[in-house]
Amino acid sequence: MTFHTPLRVLALDTCTETCSAALSLDGKIYNRIADAPREHSQRLLPMVDEVLAEANIKLTDLDVIAYGRGPGSFTGIRICTSMTQGLALGADLPVIGISTLAAMAQMAIDEHQAEQVFCAIDARMNEVYVGQFTNVNGIATLVGVEQVCAPDNIELALDTNEQIVACGTGFDAYPDLLNLSGNILPLQAVKYPDAKAMLTLAQFGVSHEQHTSVDDLAPVYLRDTVTWKKLPGRE
């Protein structure tokens, strides 16, 4: 498969309360984002149409679609993956899944020059989705594994002697997480993932052949689905 240089990437995310779409074309970024927790399925495709129209490009002119693969809301992850599947099948494009936690870390790196990022999303049920990242040549790089756990069970794997930037709703829900180190600095500007930050990670991922066919699209829930099914009304 022959790609453009630089890649033409469309990124989508609906895994948390925000809904976003972003497009990278010839070094320019076009993006839309909205806080619309119950309107993802209505808002996402119009956002895609808007960024494509603004860039004056067709879906079939792209190289790859990046999608928020989770963790996050079960409903949100399903919306994002199903819409990505429909778009990618229609345009015969490969896809690449991007962690919502990594997207937040990448935003902290891109916009706030963070070197270490501690990401936590409120997972409800007294748990958080957690990922810890370092800045490696401008790319958010996971330290250890992403996990879902009780706040009390989190152990920092980052260098506590250096500043650690904290991103995500998990710190609002569990402020004691900020006490895991005296060097943790909450970054209020990064509470949710943004498709715009996924563009950088998608470029990097495709260069390392991490993209797949749409048949291998792989959402990441972290939490056992059986647990969720026992709780009616949970997303």
pLDDT along the chain (235 residues), means of 10: 91 96 97 90 95 98 98 95 96 98 98 98 96 98 97 97 98 97 96 97 97 94 57 39
Q: CA-to-CA distance for 151 and 162, rounded, in angstroms?
A: 22
Closest CA to 45 of 76, 17, 84: 84
Q: CA-to-CA distance for 226 and 60, rounded, in angstroms?
A: 38
- Does domain 101-186 correspond to CATH entry 3.30.2010.10? no
Q: Where are the domains of the chain?
A: 9-100+193-229, 101-186
Q: CA-to-CA distance for 180 and 132, rounded, in angstroms?
A: 13
Q: CA-to-CA distance for 165 and 181, rounded, in angstroms?
A: 11
N-term to C-term CA, the chain: 38
CATH annotation of 9-100+193-229: 3.30.420.40
Closest CA to 34 of 16, 8, 7: 16
Strands 64-70 and 164-167 come out as: unpaired
Task: Report the helix count and the strand count for the chain, using DSSP H and E.
Answer: 6, 10
| pTM score | 0.93
Residue-wise pLDDT for 135-192, tens only, equals: 999 999 999 999 999 999 999 999 999 999 999 999 999 999 999 999 999 999 999 9
